[in-house]
Chain A
């Protein structure tokens, strides 16, 4: 009989070997998405009389996927190229407003509104990039500049009455711009179709993000993140690639905003441009692992359900923010590479402690885990 600890160590070592293979991340992502596709049906399953996931309402799962997809989009810019944005609420809000204005003011398809919102967000991101990177803003200054742009939009939308002003929009009924509830109207009578729409958004953004990471573009992004001057010295046009990063990231963030506008009943500047939205966008990526493809999804499932549960079920206003705050502090202090790095960290620890897993870590890649 082999002791449990040794079997655990062997399993972890196998996992470590597995993670080094090229197919590891696509395989893990496939598993994650299959589980997510089944989750609405298996969350109520009881095991030995206990249903461990029964507290997860469909609404919580939807919100979780929204923040997972924004974190995934944020990650392309801030995780890959290392340009830390604290103002992604700007792009989220533009996506939401593009969609709600399309259906409320012009009675056209929300999908067209989403496309417009996404393009506007992309252009706005490009603009932020042009003005910031031209003056070589980075670090603190860049983070503050992005926050300023988001706050600017918040007060602008608050003060223009032609687009709802501070009271925003109430989502119209589908009959006012389409035939009936359904995919064309982007409105449904139950939560389940919404779940699969946001899951599809997340899937598309994740695949996109993964392709970028494995492409030459991704290599350029990571080179810029690691050492911008060296990247420039070997001939990477860093300014251009940073712009590409921020534009893609902004356009994709707007998708979740569009979804938000069609899922919730009201849209106000204070809900989509709020300073806290910036945090909700980047938090899953930080918790899961900045620069990884799996991280934002895993991170969102760690952070969002707990906070949503605290917000919805416990009658203690503010508790969800305390949870956010504690997780933020703990992750940055103790595990800045995120939850995704834990298996390899455990393996490394065991290797140092026992020496049982004697293989030397010689062929480790320079970049993070995917």
Chain B
């Protein structure tokens, strides 16, 4: 699988900077000993934008883990399905892809429930590896089906978005919209979990499955709702990412792997941890892409991942990993 398709948004962004006369190409900047404050500001902005998306990607993953104790390898594939649903609908109707994002999310909610009922529910009590293998199988089926049907070529939304300048930093509009979507989704999910009865039931199940059952919560129903919501969140993230990035059927893998890092870093199952981890990885990626050669930032990200797994396996804000 082509895990390393270099996103274009960094390239595009630096191009804009060059036009603005602030920096020369990447290589020259790496040799400058003192960081240019303008560049650092720009990178911080990019870090925030990317971190919010990582938080959104990790949110569904960590929710499914927290409630069901399942590591969902198909999460990245869910994102890709949403991308292609929105892109195909937009292409067929000629309307803006933004209009079809809700439809993509709904499709993913249903798809998540189906995947759960068919593949996860029958083996909820089986060893943990079995669920990992099954979700990886779902990943292969979904991604390769999309590859077969739509071709493996890169695609992008037919949108003409510019960028806004705020205090010396450029913000691409596509990324800004994606970040707004991410923030709204995170706040919405948080309110849903805190304020509604179903949300409370989900949190109760995450806390203690047996206890939840004793107080009359239908844990099986919570499971499929959680998987559906997790898939819907993946779909939302997936539908938002092409606003600033070209995509192909394999782009989900890269996001999935980094989302694992985010989730473990923040603490598996932890909601605020996903956001904090997302921000950290977002910043590491943006700064690493700029100051380190090639894709070396990924080495740094996995170094962090392994360190966290070893020293702090419960993550920054998580519970006990031995449970």
Binding site for B on A (CB under 8 A): 84, 86, 131-132, 135-141, 143-145, 147-149, 151-152, 154-156, 158-159, 165-166, 270, 274-276, 279, 282, 286, 316-322, 324-329, 332-333, 336
Contact = CB atoms under 8 A, between A and B. Distances in A.
Given A141-B321, A158-B294, A329-B134, 13 more contacts: A135-B310, A148-B260, A166-B4, A166-B294, A275-B1, A282-B133, A321-B143, A326-B141, A328-B134, A328-B137, A328-B140, A329-B141, A332-B134
B3 interface: yes
18 contacts: A135-B313, A139-B129, A141-B313, A141-B321, A143-B128, A145-B310, A149-B302, A151-B298, A152-B306, A275-B257, A282-B133, A318-B144, A318-B145, A318-B249, A320-B144, A329-B141, A332-B133, A336-B130
Contact of B299 (A137, A140, A155): A155
A279 B135 CA distance: 12
Nearest to B300: A155
A147 B4 CA distance: 16
Interface of B is mostly: helix
A321 B140 contact: yes
A333 B134 contact: yes
Contact of B306 (A136, A140, A145, A276): A145
Contacts, number: 151
A318 B152 CA distance: 9
A143 B137 contact: no
Contact of A325 (B123, B139, B249, B268): B139
B59 to A, nearest CB: 18
A232 to B, nearest CB: 14
A147 B305 CA distance: 11
Nearest to B143: A321
B303 A152 contact: yes
A179 B313 CA distance: 52
Interface in B175-225: none
Nearest to A143: B132
A140 B302 contact: no
Contacts of B37: none
A148 B130 contact: no
B137 A329 contact: yes
B253 interface: yes
B129 A144 contact: no
A327 B141 CA distance: 10
A141 B261 CA distance: 11
Given A139-B128, A151-B257, A321 B144 contact: yes
B310 A325 contact: no
B148 A329 contact: no
Interface residues of B, number: 53
A270 B254 CA distance: 13
Interface string B1-23: 11110000000000000000000
A274 B3 contact: yes
A333 B119 CA distance: 7
Among B3, B140, B294, B303: residue with most chain A CB under 10 A? B140
A133 B204 CA distance: 31
Contacts of B122: 333
Interface string B134-178: 101111110111011000100000000000000000000000000
Contacts of A131: 306, 310
Contact of B148 (A149, A151, A319): A319
A147 B132 CA distance: 12
Contact of B293 (A135, A159, A279, A317): A159
Contacts of A132: 309-310
B310 A144 contact: no
Contacts of A326: 137, 141
Contacts of B2: 270
B322 interface: yes
A275 B148 CA distance: 20
Contacts of A136: 322
Contacts of B130: 332, 336
Contacts of B4: 158, 166, 270
A274 B130 CA distance: 21
Contacts of B257: 147, 151, 275
Contacts of B65: 140
A286 B130 CA distance: 10
A90 to B, nearest CB: 11
Among B2, B127, B133, B311: residue with most chain A CB under 10 A? B133
Contact of A152 (B249, B268, B302, B322): B302
A252 B204 CA distance: 46
Among A159, A165, A275, A329: residue with most chain B CB under 10 A? A329
Given A145-B306, A332-B123, A137 B313 contact: yes
A148 B3 CA distance: 14
A325 B144 contact: yes
B71 interface: yes
Nearest to A142: B309
A31 B69 CA distance: 43
A148 B127 CA distance: 21
Contacts of B152: 317-318
Given A140-B128, A333-B119, A328 B136 contact: yes
A324 B306 contact: no
B133 A286 contact: yes
Contact of A145 (B148, B249, B309): B309
